[in-house]
């Protein structure tokens, strides 16, 4: 019962303020597109990705998030991205669809710079299965309420393939006011960066570091990740989110060249968040799984052959 009342209090408080609305992922370094539209097409391939996260297992009304992404290089200097996620938290459901475009340019010494924009749809729904502390409280809806808004994001990104990256971006720049719900969509700001260190060992071993800072100008959160990639196939590491969780991360990466040119890569990752906040008294932690498939398309030039009718 205490857990139910806790969620009611949180939702009632959020009705008249701008709150953190973007979903949280521990393996965010495999999904830069949802935070930064300028990252569309940075892998010089077509990539399909999926995430599923159950947060705070054991807590009634726990957040559950599913996300699907496409990111691809569609021309020499143009990347496109498509992002969809469904985020559920108790009586609240969020659905977001975004189309991103990025323009890439050379920055010298093998590095590249890109600028991107995302346009999309933000929909929010509140259910009617509330259990109020005080009966007759007018701030708690007694029927299902829906609202939606136009969404805009901008970003810049600087990187050298398989070596380092730095990105700065913002989502929900329109800061839409959802009048039906009396909720304002908060602008979010992100800074991300990472560097890969090649370790001198007999078997290829790479230390990959990643940092994400996110803020709505009311609250700021940090995600710090380090993982070791062994022989270009297996990786394991740790993500630390101060004041929230410590999360072991494991996964596999498998890439191969296709017979007629190009290549393809599969990635599968899993993380488990060990909750370090007071919620650890109610939750056993959070589970997250990530899957992606990337491929390149090679144009095969047809060679016309002419046969001599004298040799049938």
Over residues 66-108, the pLDDT tens digits come to: 999 999 999 889 999 999 999 998 888 999 999 999 999 999 9
Q: What percentage of the chain carries pLDDT values higher than 90?
A: 63
- The answer as to whether 63 is a domain residue is yes
- The answer as to whether 107 is a domain residue is yes
- The answer as to whether 307 is a domain residue is no
Q: What is the mean pLDDT of residues 25-46?
A: 94
pLDDT band at 7 (very low <50, low <70, confident <90, very high): very low
Q: What is the mean pLDDT of the chain?
A: 86
- The answer as to whether 128 is a domain residue is yes
- The answer as to whether 137 is a domain residue is yes
Q: CB neighbours (10 Å) of residue 241?
A: 20
Q: Is the pLDDT of residue 247 over 70?
A: yes
Q: Which residues pair with 246 in a beta bridge?
A: 240, 274
Structure confidence at residue 201 (pLDDT): 81
Q: Which of 110-124, 132-146, 188-202, 251-265 has the lowest mean pLDDT?
A: 132-146
Chain centroid offset of residue 75 CA: 24
Q: Which domain holds residue 277?
A: 2-295
Judge contact between 207 and 238, C-beta under 8 A. no
- The answer as to whether 225 is a domain residue is yes
Q: CB neighbours (10 Å) of residue 230?
A: 13
Chain centroid offset of residue 97 CA: 13
Exposure of 207 in the CB half-sphere (CA atoms within 13 A): 5
Q: Which of 197-201, 262-266, 300-304 has the lowest mean pLDDT?
A: 300-304
- The answer as to whether 312 is a domain residue is no
Structure confidence at residue 154 (pLDDT): 98
**pLDDT tens, residue by residue, 97-145:** 999 999 999 999 999 999 999 999 999 998 877 777 777 676 666 778 8
Long-range residue pairs from 58-61, CB within 8 A, at least 24 positions apart, any chain: 58/282, 58/283, 58/284, 59/3, 59/279, 59/282, 59/283, 60/3, 60/4, 60/7, 60/90, 61/3, 61/4, 61/7, 61/89, 61/90, 61/91
Q: Is the pLDDT of residue 284 over 70?
A: yes
Structure confidence at residue 61 (pLDDT): 80
CATH code at position 152? 2.40.160.40
Structure confidence at residue 69 (pLDDT): 96
- The answer as to whether 75 is a domain residue is yes
Structure confidence at residue 199 (pLDDT): 93
Which of 75, 35, 50, 34 shows the shortest CA–CA distance to 266? 50
Q: Is the pLDDT of residue 160 over 90?
A: yes
Structure confidence at residue 18 (pLDDT): 41
pTM, two decimals, is 0.83
pLDDT band at 299 (very low <50, low <70, confident <90, very high): low
Number of domains in the chain: 1
Rounded to whole angstroms, the Cα distance separating 25 from 241 reads 11
Q: Is the pLDDT of residue 174 over 90?
A: yes
């Amino acid at each position: 019962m205490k857990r139910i009342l806790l969620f009611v209090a949180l939702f009632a408080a959020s009705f008249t303020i701008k709150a953190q609305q973007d979903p949280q992922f521990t393996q965010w370094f495999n999904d830069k597109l949802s935070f930064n539209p300028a990252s569309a097409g940075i892998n010089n391939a077509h990539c399909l990705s999926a995430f599923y996260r159950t947060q705070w297992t054991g807590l009634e009304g726990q957040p559950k998030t599913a996300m699907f992404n496409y990111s691809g290089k569609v021309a020499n200097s143009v990347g496109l991205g498509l992002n969809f996620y469904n985020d559920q938290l108790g009586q609240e459901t969020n659905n977001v669809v975004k189309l991103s475009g990025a323009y890439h340019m050379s920055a010298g010494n093998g590095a590249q710079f890109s600028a991107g924009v995302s346009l999309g749809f933000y929909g929010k729904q509140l259910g009617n299965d509330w259990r109020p502390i005080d009966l007759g409280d007018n701030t708690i809806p007694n029927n299902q309420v829906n609202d939606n808004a136009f969404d805009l994001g901008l970003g810049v990104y600087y990187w050298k393939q398989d070596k380092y990256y730095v990105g700065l971006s913002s989502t929900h720049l329109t800061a839409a006011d959802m009048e039906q719900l009396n909720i304002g969509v908060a602008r979010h700001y992100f800074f991300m960066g990472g560097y890969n260190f090649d370790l001198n060992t007999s078997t290829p071993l790479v230390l990959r570091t990643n940092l994400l800072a996110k803020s709505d100008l009311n609250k700021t959160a940090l995600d710090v990740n380090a993982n070791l990639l062994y022989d270009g196939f297996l990786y394991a590491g740790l993500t630390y989110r101060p004041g929230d969780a410590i999360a072991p991360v494991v996964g596999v990466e498998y890439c191969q060249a296709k017979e007629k040119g190009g290549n393809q890569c599969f990635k599968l990752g899993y993380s488990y968040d060990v909750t370090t906040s007071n919620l650890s008294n109610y939750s056993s932690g959070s589970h997250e799984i990530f899957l992606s498939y990337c491929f390149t398309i090679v144009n095969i030039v047809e060679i016309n052959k002419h046969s001599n009718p004298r040799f049938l």
